[in-house]
Structure 1
């Protein structure tokens, strides 16, 4: 949809951004907090460098319908702790952005002061995702199957960031930031 681009714009504007995907990558890297528990649950996912091989882990998840639930039980608490640490480290910032895939699906919106949804028409979303290296139609369909429909996310969001172009996204983000800063100055 353009989530990474939107996060980059928030960063350019000087706002701290926590990225859930980046947090998971750190947790899976050699020495990461998720390596030992994930390797115990999925031994073939441990790579030679002492990290988690995401491709091998993905293969394990494909074999067992309950594997994803087991993995999430291991990783989600670690991700939540990382997010809490980031928020605490930026407690004085007027605006902290949390880039969280599957926010509504995981129920995390209740912990947010506000939610912005990055949105693009379905055909643009499909083209963007399928342009990623190694992405297949089947993988894209699996991703969509785990997500709440965009139309529903849009109705639940406090703000919508249209990502048809960089300029439309930037304008929407600047408006969101201005609105939040105005509310904070009146609080």
Structure 2
């Protein structure tokens, strides 16, 4: 399995107990809809399959998992902080009207004061908010994605119109 044939769902945060149980933090928004018979762990740039023998999904974007052949804390510790993926074929179907902040990757950002800033190259998801990353004047500018900043999303043309807080761009371009 290659990374381009899969989608990122989260990472292993810690071990639990002594029998190889691990806790997973999900960064995929609809993690409750995913099927977990096998997950792929990124180790040294390769995706290695781990078969799930038991799992319990929590409501706080976490889950506790046992993998086949991982039966000691020592084996489980080697997986901590590793990224997890599922095959693209297991991606849940989305409704036509569903749109996520992560869908904005590749959109051109236009600010009402600064004009066109550039293309969103990454959207990071943090517990409290989503952050867009845009290269602007040879710097990476980061700004939150929320209703207070977004003025309009033109899905047809791939344009995100924003009103960034006063002084935010100056922080990045003035040193």
TM-score (norm 1): 0.30
Q: Which structure dedicates a bigger proportion of its chain to strand?
A: 2
Larger Rg: 2
Q: Select the structure with the greater relative contact order (CA < 8 A; seq sep ≥ 6).
A: 1
Q: Which structure dedicates a bigger proportion of its chain to helix?
A: 1
